């Protein structure tokens, strides 16, 4: 069965053996995606259990209002379920698709508040209110990369986390982990290749998919 929530993964701990075998390199999202698409209500619940927090994070980090963020999370899953026929597993992952819907909802919400602001402006001549949070596209991209990072084989993930979070050089990583430098390099190379591939498939800012609207940023 699924190895829990990919993005809810425990952070890297130095005490964990780097060489530990990974039971399931890729949590079987395929099965969940297929059941979701087929209308299996249990799959909706599972998708929510796995990815509800990711969608909520997207919303809370881009919208000022907490209840707006929860509302966006809710409408994202409702829209996803009602529009599940349009989900094409060939084009990307379920979480990437959910985040795409969430992103549109966030942008709608930002646009609506910008509209309200404009109405106020015309009356009061106030300067435009600055955006409160980070760009939704960047948040989505980060979540996609985080998801892929969590799916990497343990060794690759740990090496990359040491490079990303602790800003260690490959030599330092080799020293800290006791893994030969050549092996560190090869793990990092492969890990980076996977992250890049995933971002190209599911990322917002990567590919040919229609870009968001500048007005909402």
Partner 1 sequence: MSHLDHDRLVFLALGESEADTTESTHLGACAHCRTEMDTLQHVAGLGAGTQGLHDLPDPPEHVWQDIVAEIRAAETLPALPGPRAERSDERPSGDRPGDGAGGVLLAPSRRRGRWSRWAATAATAAAAAVVGVVGTLVVLDGTGPTPEPAPPRVVLASAPLKAYGATPPDANGEARVFDNGRLHLHLANLPDVPGYYEVWLINPRNMQMFSVGVLGDATDELLPLPPNVDLEAYSVVDVSAEAYDNNTAHSGKSLLRGTLTG
Q: Does 26 bind partner 1 (CB under 8 A)?
A: no
Half-sphere exposure of 173 (CA within 13 A, CB side): 26
Could you give the C-alpha distances from 97 to 42, 47, 133, 204, in angstroms and in order?
18, 11, 22, 10
Q: Does 208 bind partner 1 (CB under 8 A)?
A: no
* Assigned token pair, 146: 């985080």
Site for partner 1 in 102-161 (CB under 8 A): 104-105, 107-109, 112, 115, 138, 141-143, 145-146, 149-150, 160
Beta strand residue intervals within 88-190, DSSP E: none
Q: Does 8 bind partner 1 (CB under 8 A)?
A: yes
For every residue of 112-132, DSSP letters joined together read HHHHHHHHHHHHH-PPPPPP-
Point out which residues bind partner 1 (CB under 8 A).
7-11, 39, 41, 44-45, 48, 52-57, 70-71, 73-75, 77-79, 81-83, 85-86, 88, 104-105, 107-109, 112, 115, 138, 141-143, 145-146, 149-150, 160, 163-165, 169-170, 185, 188-189, 192-193, 195-196, 199-200, 206, 210, 212-213, 215-216
């Amino acid at each position: 069965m699924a190895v829990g929530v990919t993005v809810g993964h425990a952070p890297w701990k130095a005490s964990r053996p780097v060489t530990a075998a990974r039971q399931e390199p890729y949590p079987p999202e395929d099965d969940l995606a297929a059941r979701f698409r087929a209308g299996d209500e249990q799959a909706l619940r599972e998708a929510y259990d796995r990815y509800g927090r990711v969608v909520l994070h997207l919303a809370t980090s881009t919208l000022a209002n907490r209840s707006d963020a929860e509302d966006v999370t809710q409408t994202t899953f409702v829209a996803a379920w009602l529009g599940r026929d349009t989900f094409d597993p060939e084009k990307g992952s379920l979480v990437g698709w959910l985040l795409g819907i969430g992103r549109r909802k966030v942008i709608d919400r930002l646009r609506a508040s910008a509209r309200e602001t404009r109405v106020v402006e015309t009356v009061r001549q106030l300067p435009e209110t600055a955006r409160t949070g980070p760009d939704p596209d960047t948040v989505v991209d980060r979540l996609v990369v985080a998801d892929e990072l969590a799916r990497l084989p343990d060794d690759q993930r740990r090496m990359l986390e040491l490079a990303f979070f602790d800003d260690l050089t490959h030599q330092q990583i080799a020293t800290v982990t006791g893994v030969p430098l050549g092996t560190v390099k090869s793990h990092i190379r492969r890990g980076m290749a996977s992250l890049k591939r995933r971002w190209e498939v599911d990322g917002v800012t990567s590919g040919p998919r229609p870009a968001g609207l500048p007005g909402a940023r």
